[in-house]
Amino acid sequence: MELYTYYRSTASYRVRIALALKGLDFTAVPVNLLVPAGGANRQPEYLAINPQGRVPALRTDEGELLIQSLAIIEYLEERYPQVPLLSNDLLARAHARAVAAIIGCDVHPLHNSSTQHLLRQWGHDEVQLLAWIGHWISQGLGAVEQLIGDQGYCFGDQPGLADAFLIPQLYAAERFKVSLAAYPRIGRVAALAAQHPAFIQAHPAHQPDTP
């Protein structure tokens, strides 16, 4: 498999975690979102891979190209079920998907690079930008804090889908100077993940394109 990725992309980070948790080998294909002008993701070569011009994209062992982090992770879950990221219990699966959706649908899109670029085009300065980002991240994490369990990872002793979405969002929170002090349950999950080999392997600090 080939994963088109960018070290700091939280969407790519999610997929890297899922691959690592499942013990799947892949080749990282870095896509620099900053250079050349407009980012390599906006160049014709990459747009032929992903018409949306975003990362991640996954080329499967069969040569098929998949886009969108949740779709990719769901594919991995169904194709390689040996290390499950979702419980067999239907309600537990729904709860994990809800946390993933809060982060992937309601929080991350409001602070990703394209949103930031548009806000700057509209004349917002960096102080306003950080306030915008902090508002949406804090609102999302506040909801997640109430939804996850009191022990272990988000929903049990083993990490899963919700954790694969949460941990990259915490990386973004730290990057944008959003305090995590109000979220003790999330802090517990973060401490566990910081010691887990799969999360360490997937971290932005350990990627081939990390500066």
Do 193 and 122 belong to one domain?
A: yes
What is the tens place of the pLDDT at every residue in 131-149? 999 999 999 999 999 999 9
Is 140 within 8 Å of 132 (Cβ atoms)?
Answer: no
Q: What is the pTM of this model?
A: 0.96
> Rounded to the nearest 5°, which phi and psi values hold at 58?
-125, 125
Do 48 and 127 belong to one domain?
A: no
Mean of the per-residue pLDDT values for the chain? 96
What is the tens place of the pLDDT at every residue in 25-84? 999 999 999 988 779 999 999 999 999 999 999 999 999 999 999 999 999 999 999 999
Do 45 and 7 belong to one domain?
A: yes
Task: Please identify, among 61, 83, 105, the residue that sits at the C-terminal boundary of a domain.
Answer: 83
Range of the domain at 55: 2-83
Inter-CA distances, 149 with 68, 81, 95, 113, 189, Å: 27, 24, 11, 31, 10
Do 131 and 35 belong to one domain?
A: no
Do 60 and 98 belong to one domain?
A: no
Share of the chain above pLDDT 90, in %: 96
Number of domain units in the chain: 2
Helix (H) or strand (E) holding 53: none
